[in-house]
Structure 1
Amino acid sequence: MKNFSTTTLKMTRIFDVAPERVFDAWLNQEMMRKWFFTLEGTNKVAQNNPQVGGTWEIVDHRDGKDYRAIGEYLEIVPPTKLVFTFKMPQFSELEDTITVELKEIQQGCEMTFTQNIIVPHEENWTKSDIEKALREYHEGSEHGWNLMFMGLKELVETGKVSYKG
């Protein structure tokens, strides 16, 4: 029996700007430090090498702790598609895969975000334990991305993020 399960989180958002602007916010490290796993006031590190095989890293400092998110770019197709890995090594060595697809629509662009979430199992878990963990990881991830996407929308549409966390 494998020691993990997977669940998929899919979210769609509309932005009142061209796809290029949203695509840049995912890859430009100055923009990343304002919304991607961090906020400008709590960000310690925002490093990015936006090419296939290149890596990204965010370190956010909150409540006296550093939270590190890292990943590698698997596919970059400007300005329509971005595929990368994501993990937070302090919590798990398991790596999720995230796909961001952008398409131009009449009022700007539509972003479809998909995260394949890997949920580790603990020893002696029952089927209901696994189902509960899958639900919690899915809901927790969705909540986090909802907050980040509010910041992303504000950033690409107004040039700044007012939410301070």
Structure 2
Amino acid sequence: MNNLSTTTLTMTRTFDVAAERVFDAWLNPEMMRKWFFTLEGTNKVAQNNPQVGGTWEIVDHRGGQDYRAIGEYLEIDPPQKLVFTFKMPQFSELEDTITVELKELSQGCEMTFSQKIHVAHEENWTESDIEKALGEYHDGSEHGWNLMFMGLKELLETGKISYTGQ
């Protein structure tokens, strides 16, 4: 496809809890509603069918508007690996693929996260425009995940999230 480009975002985080706890936070709707594209106070929907071919959905309400994130599970290998699709239909029909890999450390675990981000080209875009858009999508995604992972770490290690901003 000439009208689509892809970039990959990779991030690594450590947690002072077992890999099973981190893995569960990606799949358990009660945990998801506290950190995954939403916060407990703004979450409207957190649904999940954690099996290969099963789907997940998060609806967050911010600034008077609902934001919906959906996807399908492609691979589930507890507690080492999770692969799923990610899409926000109100913004794009393009689906990203997210891979979460966990490995035990002597204390806690390490999570390696990667997101294959697809960017649709606009008409008359030059190579420079494409590179700029890929950079913006990559950096914007990294910023969002960074905030989510800070919340996830706090949730898993202390039982609650103190951060409430967007």
> What residue is the counterpart of 2:76 in the other structure?
76
* Cα distance in 2, alignment partners of residues 158 and 2 from structure 1: 47
Ranges in structure 2 where 5+ consecutive residues have no aligned partner: none
Q: Count residues with an aligned counterpart.
A: 165
One-letter code aligned to 1:95:
E
C-alpha displacement of 1:68: 0.2
Ranges in structure 1 where 5+ consecutive residues have no aligned partner: none
Structure 1: which 4+ aligned runs deviate by more than 6 Å? none
> What residue is the counterpart of 2:120 in the other structure?
120
C-alpha displacement of 1:59: 0.3
Asked if 1:28 corresponds to 2:28, the answer is yes
> What residue is the counterpart of 2:106 in the other structure?
106
One-letter code aligned to 2:4:
F
* Cα distance in 2, alignment partners of residues 39 and 77 from structure 1: 26
> What residue is the counterpart of 1:134 in the other structure?
134
* Cα distance in 1, alignment partners of residues 159 and 53 from structure 2: 29
- Show the 5 A alignment for 1:23-62: 23-62=23-62
- Provide the secondary structure at the position in 2 that maps to 1:144: helix
TM-score (norm 1): 0.99
One-letter code aligned to 1:135:
G
* Cα distance in 1, alignment partners of residues 108 and 50 from structure 2: 24
* Cα distance in 2, alignment partners of residues 9 and 36 from structure 1: 17
* Cα distance in 2, alignment partners of residues 144 and 41 from structure 1: 18
Determine what percentage of the aligned residue pairs are the same residue. Answer: 87
Alignment root-mean-square deviation, CA: 0.6
C-alpha displacement of 1:63: 0.3
